Amino acid sequence: MTIRVTVWGENVHERTNAVVARLYPDGMHNCIAEALNEDEALEARSVTLQEPEHGLTEELLDHTDVLVWWGHAAHGKVRDEIVDRVQARVLQGMGLLVLHSAHYSKIFKRLMGTTCSLKWREAGERERLWVVNPGHPIVQGLGEYIELPHTEMYGEPFAVPNPDEVIFISAFEGGEVFRSGLVYRRGNGKIFYFRPGHETYPIYHDAQVRQVLRNAAKWARPEGSRWIDRCPNVPPDRAPDPVEIKGEGLHKPGEEGFR
């Protein structure tokens, strides 16, 4: 069965920064969707912040198995009711891939319950992402590491809850390390945070990064039926048996049950 993927992009840097526009003339969101569509098991489309309801309508989310989120400069412009809507779908079973600076997105911070803060430095340094969980589906088809010649540094401490599993640990030229691939479950939904992806470097053109995105989308697909989070007040299946209450002060002397 085809896995339906929606790529959400902020679409700000592509329209305001000449370097980003040159690297991603069709937008990062479309580059990511293109990478996903290289796998016949995936059917990816893209939406952006500027569309009505940020492109994330109820109907679209109802027909999304996995949502990919990239954001950086406009986290605060995402409306809270849209965040509520996405959170509900994750709890119901929709997968979520959170990329790079979307660690500070409203939806990721909401699902983590922490600040999701970190160290950073933009100096075009080399990054080596070591595969530390080689049996995980997300890293199938990769070698021992992915090497990116020029990236933005992210460093520990990364203020997120302890993950279910760590998939990648990055080492940077400056000596910092970072947990660059983390997986979580929230409700019925699976979440993967993947660090690479700064907009002024051609990260999403890298073949191995694209392989990770495809693997992650297939891993995060829903399992089983959709779960609807409710809190109903329900009657018992049958009337409760009568309970005989005994105790001091409840009976008079001479009555059955008096102690």
Give pLDDT tens digits for 115-158: 999 999 999 999 999 999 999 999 999 999 999 999 999 999 99
pLDDT score of 67 more than 90: yes
Q: Which residue has the tokens 């660090």?
A: 195
User: How confident is the model at residue 259, as a pLDDT?
Assistant: 46
**For residues 191-207, average pLDDT:** 97
Q: Which residue has the tokens 């990919």?
A: 68
Domain span at residue 188 reads 3-116+181-219
Number of domains into which the chain is organized: 1
For residue 243, being part of any structural domain is answered with no
- Reported residue count of the chain is 259
Supply the mean pLDDT for the chain.
Answer: 93
Beta bridge partners of 152: 122
Please give the order of strands across the beta sheet that includes 165-172: 42-48, 3-9, 66-70, 95-99, 189-194, 177-186, 165-172, 119-131, 145-155
For residue 254, being part of any structural domain is answered with no
For residue 154, being part of any structural domain is answered with no
Name which residue leads in pLDDT, 214 or 259: 214
User: Are 181 and 138 a contacting pair, CB within 8 Å?
Assistant: yes
**For residues 170-188, average pLDDT:** 97
Determine phi and psi for 181, rounding to 5 degrees.
-145, 110
C-alpha 125: how far from its chain's center?
26
User: How confident is the model at residue 234, as a pLDDT?
Assistant: 87
For residue 168, being part of any structural domain is answered with no
For residue 205, being part of any structural domain is answered with yes
Span 27-39, pLDDT tens digits: 999 999 999 999 9
Angle between helices 28-36 and 207-219 (to 10 degrees): 70
Span 146-175, pLDDT tens digits: 999 999 999 999 999 999 999 999 999 999
For residue 52, being part of any structural domain is answered with yes
Supply the CATH number for residue 107's domain. Answer: 3.40.50.880
